[in-house]
Amino acid sequence: MHNSILIKNGHIIDPSQGIDSIGDILIEDRKIKEVRLQPNKRQGEVKVKGQIINADGLYVFPGIVDMHAHLREPGFEYKETIKTGTMAALKGGITSVCCMPNTNPVNDNRTVTEFILKKAYAEGSCYVYPIGAITKGQKGEELAEMGLMYEAGCIAFSDDGRPVVSTLLMRRALEYSKALNVPIISHCEDISLSDSGTMNEGSLSTKMGLKGITYAAEDIMVARDIILSELTGGKLHIAHVSTEGSVRLIREAKKRGINVTAETCPHYFTITEDAVANYNTNAKVNPPLRTQRDIEAIKEGLKDGTIDVIATDHAPHHGDEKLQEFDKAPSGISGFETAFSLSLKLVHDGVLSISQLIEKMSYTPARILGINAGTLKVGSQADLTIVDMNKEFKVEATKFLSKGKNTPFEGWILKGTSVMTICRGKVFDCQSFIGG
C-alpha cells in the first residue's frame, strides 16, 4: 500500500537538476517517485490513487535547508522548543533546520546531541540537524569532543554567538574539520574590538549614546580564519556576513582557491542600522545591522557567488527580554517565518534569478553540509515547498508559530510566500496560519 501525493501543473524549479519547467511530481512513500515535465506529453498523464494537489499557477521548490538557526532546546524552552520551532520552519517553507549549540547545557557532547535528535524525531515537524560546539561550554578554552559528536549526528561545528578567540584552537578545529570533512562555521568577531558594543559604530550610535561595533571587528576575524583555512585546508564557513570588508576578503580568498564558503541573512541585505533608531530592540542583532554601503556589497556578493548561502539565523527570544533597555536586551530576530519572503525581494529587484535564490537557500547549504536534501531528484526524500510568488501578506508577529515574536519587520507587506510545505510525507497547509 503506497502513500501517494501528486502535485500537478506546478512551475518546478530544481537547481540540482537544472529544472525550470511546468510539470508534475509524484510522491510515494515519502520519496520522489517521478518528475514529469511538460511539454513531454507523450508520456501521458500521471495517475495516482491518493492526494492530488493542484499547483497550477504556483511554484514548486525543494524544501529550504536552513544551516543557521537556534531552536533553544534544551534549556531555553520559554523562548522556543523543537516542536514550535520546526512548526514555524515549515510555515516558512523550511524542511531542514540546522540548530546551533548554544543551548543549556551546551551541545558540546554526544549526550546532548542524542537528546536533540531524539526530541526532534518525537516532536519535530521537519528534519533537525544538530551543530556541535567547537569548544567545551563554548568557552574557547578546550576543544569539545568533535569526533564523538560527529558520530552521534552533528553535521558541523560552531561556537556561534561567540568567536573562538584562540588562534591555536581555531587551527586545531579546522584540522579536525578536514579529517571529518565537515565545516567549521565561524562567528567572526574580535571581541576585544567590539568591546561590548550593541549596534553599528557610526554617527547614529554616537547620537543614540550607545557603544558601537566597528566593521573591523568582523573583518579582522574573517581574515584570520581565511588564513587558518589556507594553512590547514580545513573546511571554513563564515556565518552571517554583515560587512563590505568581509565580502571583499571572502571573494579574494575564493579566487585563490581557499576552502571557504559564506552565508548572510535576510536582515543584512534588507535593513540598515536605522532600524534600531528609537532603541528598537527587535532590530538588535549580532553582528549588528550595518549601512546601505554594506547592503549593496552583500547583494553584489550574492550575485557574483561570493556569498553561497542565505540562512535565517532564527533567534527567538521571550518578549520580556526584548522589552529591556537596549544595552541589556539580547540580540536576535525570529526569522523562520519571514526569511523566504524577504529573500524573494532579491528576485523581484533583479539581484538574483529565482533559480539562484533557491540554490542559495536549499541545494548549496545541503551540499556544504553533506546532507541528503535540497533536491527533487527521483529517489530523494520528498521535502518541498509550494509557493505563491504573488501572494501578499502582512507580517504580524502575533501570528508567528514560533514562540519568538521578535521581528523588526512587523507590519511590513511582503510579496510571495509558501502556501504548502511537504516534509516526511506530510502536507502542511501554511495558508491556514497566515489568514490566506
- Annotated binding-site members for substrate: 70-72, 102, 286, 317
Task: Please state the residue numbers annotated as binding site for Zn(2+).
Answer: 68, 70, 160, 187, 240, 313
Consecutive H or E run containing 181: none
Give strand pairing partners of 386: 60, 420
Q: Is 366 helix (H, G, I), strand (E, B) or coil?
A: helix
**How is residue 166 written as a grid cell?**
584562540
Residue stretches of the annotated binding site: 68, 70-72, 102, 160, 187, 240, 286, 313, 317
Cα 124 from Cα 113, distance rounded (Å): 15
Q: What pairing do the DSSP bridges indicate for beta strands 260-264 and 236-238?
A: parallel
Provide the sign of the torsion angle of the four alpha carbons 316, 362, 153, 183, taken in this order.
negative
Count other C-beta atoms under 10 Å from residue 398's C-beta: 6
The order of strands in the sheet holding 184-186 is 184-186, 236-238, 260-264, 309-310
Question: Which of these is catalytic: 313, 327, 383, 388?
Answer: 313
Contact between residue 21 and residue 38 where contact means Cβ atoms under 8 Å apart = yes
Return d(Cα 308, Cα 297) in angstroms, integer. Answer: 14
Residue 313 a catalytic site member = yes
Q: Would you mind telling me the total number of residues written for the chain in this entry?
A: 436
What single-letter amino acid sits at 153? G
- Taking the alpha carbons of 173, 178, 181, 187 in that order, is the dihedral positive or negative? positive
Are 304 and 258 in contact by the 8 Å Cβ rule? The answer is: no
The residues annotated as belonging to the active site are 313
